[in-house]
Every structure is written in C-alpha cells, then in structure tokens.
Amino acid sequence: MSLIRPELQEKLRPFREAMAAALLAVLGGWIFWLGGWLLMPLGALLLSLALGWGISALRRARFARAVEAPGMVELDEGQIGYLGPTFGGYVALAELAELRLIDLYGKRHWRLKQVDGQVLLVPVAAQGAEVLFDAFALLPGADMARIAAALDGPMTFRPLWTRPPGAALRIRPVS
C-alpha cells in the first residue's frame, strides 16, 4: 500500500532521477556543514556532483512523455530505430547529418536525416522515446539544453543540430 496517490506517482515518475540528485545534494550539504579539512571538500564535491546530475536529470525528464503515439523506439549498436505501424526504420548515429523537431498533424516528431538523404521520423510521444536524449547527447557539438527546450517551446523550422562540415563522426555503440 502506497501513501502517494497513483496519479501523483505517475506525474513524479520522470523526476525520480532528479529527486535522487536532490537527496545527494542534501547529503553533500550536511557533510559540508559538519566542517573540517576533510569533510568540507568532500561535501563540496558531493554538492557539485549533485548539481551536474540534477541538471542532466531535469533535461532527461523533459524527454519522458506519456505514450500517446503508436510504435516503439529502440537504441541498439549505435542505431536509432523506430518500429511503427505505418512507417519506421533505422538510422545510424555515425551517419546522422541533421536533427529537427517537426509538427505533423498536430503531433511532434523528431526528424533524423542521414548523410545519404534517408530520413526517419520518430514521434516524440512514442514508447521508449526517452532514450533519444542519451543518443543525441553523443552527437558532437549538440546543445542538449537547446534540444530539450525545443520540446516545450514554439515550433521552429531551423535544425537543432547539424553535422560539422567535413567531420567524420566516431560514435561508440550505445546499448
């Protein structure tokens, strides 16, 4: 039996990692407050780790959406795959040339374009779409704050990320 209502649990679920970072910050603050030559630097280190972890966790939480779109997203061996009922496919992260967020019929989709021109559309609200945060973070020069903010902001037609000119992407497979 839980003391928290189920609907509140569902709203808080994407923020579990951020709450854990907040707990680490409280622990770091308490250790820092104890003072001393050993505990103050240790507390400051824990506070700085908690801050970085918390910022990353809040950005990642923006990617977690209620599943409202059909299909499933998977990230395997350096490839992003979308398995949908009407369209789908795979794109390799190392071959990615452009990332956009577009609006189709009132629903937002990630538009992933490879160097050879192949395009994959992935609904933002598809099952497993939160793994795209980690995939996009691997792209060189990707501004994750800008990409995360685009999910909640007004639609723009400019790319969120483009492949650096003449750059060969070397991305390790993520599983």
Q: Work out whether strand 72-76 and strand 79-83 pair parallel, antiparallel, or are unpaired.
A: antiparallel
- Burial (CB count <10 Å: 0-12, 13-18, 19+), residue 73: buried
Domain assignment of residue 174, yes or no: no
pLDDT at 172: 55
**Within this chain, do residues 56 and 78 fall inside the same structural domain, yes or no?**
no
Asked whether residue 17 falls in the same domain as residue 49, the answer is: yes
The per-residue pLDDT for range 26-79, each reduced to its tens digit, is 999 999 999 889 999 999 999 999 999 999 888 877 777 666 678 899 998 889
Whichever domain contains 111, its CATH number is: 2.30.29
Find the domain containing 150 and state its range: 72-162
- Asked, for residue 16, whether it belongs to a domain, the answer is yes
Residue 125 has pLDDT above 70, yes or no: yes
pLDDT at 66 (0 to 100): 67
Return d(Cα 134, Cα 121) in angstroms, integer.
Answer: 18
pLDDT band at 24 (very low <50, low <70, confident <90, very high): very high
Q: Are residues 81 and 102 in the same domain?
A: yes
Does residue 101 fall inside a structural domain? yes
Same domain, 100 and 18: no
15 within some domain? yes
Note the helical H segments in the chain: 6-12, 16-34, 39-63, 132-137, 144-152
The reply to whether 48 and 83 lie within a common domain is no
Task: Based on the fold, state whether residues 57 and 12 are members of the same structural domain.
Answer: yes
